Structure 1
């Protein structure tokens, strides 16, 4: 695993990774599994990880932790993001389950683009254990990765001026959920009633970098009710 360390003020360092998979692995090592000493915050992007130390004096230790994590990850080829779609290994369970009503206006178009039936699109979307790669665009919007590669579809050629809150979409390698009504160009395949951003919740974002996410077909839940609530 390789990365380029760039200074970012007196208390932060910006790490540039070669791939999103490597970046997620670095984020996991430094923030999720075991917080690096002196690390106050870790902000993930598509190829960058901003690491903020709790003081200027602690920054050297944070940089050392990054270099150690990079060395530890070199040559392993491992990543916490599934390389292929399909069912997740039994030992890996989701941190968050999202119940979706697959009634999106673009479901039929996604089926045509992928060469799948609408039922197969839903099956592919729900059978993968997705991972929150990074956040952006709007508070609470998470870019989910690790899905079935057959679901890779382009954004719509003309964005919608209004996408309702809770809309579940696909764009490129990502899946995402609109946390509030806004313009958007993703292919919409369904919607969820779960709240993605709530200022009265701690933390406000339901989906945060590193969390594993399972989509659940609401029609299947109606037929055979199970407990699919929220997050840990």
Structure 2
């Protein structure tokens, strides 16, 4: 599909004087996610003088730039337009020339082992109670799904995963915990996610993975990236601690 046929659905907004937000839609859906990925990829592959980085979220991409570098490089003093206007025009023209919606890249599938319940998943029984299920049924439903990584955020390497069954959806805790162990797997509303580092949080904790999702010394610190698919695989407690020792 040509960019010209959908450009009316994409909007641009300034974010301060050094960033532009490209809004690809308003709904959290796989179609909007694919459009966001296309926007992000196109901009990343064609940076301009003054470009800093692009950050993708659920429904938009934010492009950060150095206003003065853009001003000088594009000789804006002679053109009487602002760095924001120049960046907006540049991105619109870039997308017009390079948009190829519909060519979806093959998704990586990442299996994440999880030990559910007990001290590692202290809210499993509460999630079961909220949904009138047994803890075993919650685990069965959680491990039967495939989850799309919509974005990485909140904490380094934290994946926001879509695709959670409504059968095990649960609200955030009324009182957040001051410290959640690294690797904890949680549920909040219709989302599930994994805490890559120890941090405060209010998600319902149903288990824990021995995998390190954030590795600061690695070439790519985050194990997951937007567009990946995640499957959860149940571990016994013995397998969990064995894998945790190996990870060290």
Same fold (TM over 0.5): yes
Aligned to 2:245: none
The separation in 2 between residues aligned to 1:70 and 1:151, in whole angstroms, is 38
Is 1:27 paired with 2:36?
yes
Q: Counterparts of 1:22-171 in structure 2 under 5 Å?
A: 22-31=31-40, 36-38=45-47, 41-52=53-64, 56=70, 59=87, 60-66=89-95, 72=101, 94-103=108-117, 104-171=121-188
- Assess if the C-alpha contact under 8 Å between 1:31 and 1:42 holds in 2: yes
Q: Any idea what the Cα deviations from partners look like across 1:157-212, whole Å, max 9, x if unmatched?
A: 11112211111000012111111222111000000111111111121111222211
Structure ranking higher in helix proportion: 2
Instruction: Using the TM superposition, give the Cα deviation of residue 52 of structure 1 relative to its aligned residue in structure 2, in angstroms.
Output: 4.8
What TM-score does the superposition give when structure 1 sets the normalisation length? Answer: 0.74
The separation in 1 between residues aligned to 2:27 and 2:38, in whole angstroms, is 16
Residues 98, 71 of structure 1: CA spacing in aligned structure 2 closer, same or farther, 3 A cutoff?
closer
Structure 1: gaps spanning 5 or more residues: 74-78, 81-91, 223-232
What TM-score does the superposition give when structure 2 sets the normalisation length? Answer: 0.69
Instruction: Using the TM superposition, give the Cα deviation of residue 68 of structure 1 relative to its aligned residue in structure 2, in angstroms.
Output: 7.6
Structure 2: gaps spanning 5 or more residues: 1-5, 75-85, 240-248
Structure 2 counterpart SS, 1:63: helix
- Assess if the C-alpha contact under 8 Å between 1:30 and 1:65 holds in 2: no
Residues 71, 198 of structure 1: CA spacing in aligned structure 2 closer, same or farther, 3 A cutoff?
closer
The separation in 1 between residues aligned to 2:42 and 2:111, in whole angstroms, is 21
Aligned to 1:177: 194
- Assess if the C-alpha contact under 8 Å between 1:142 and 1:176 holds in 2: yes
Is 1:14 paired with 2:21?
yes
Aligned residues: 208
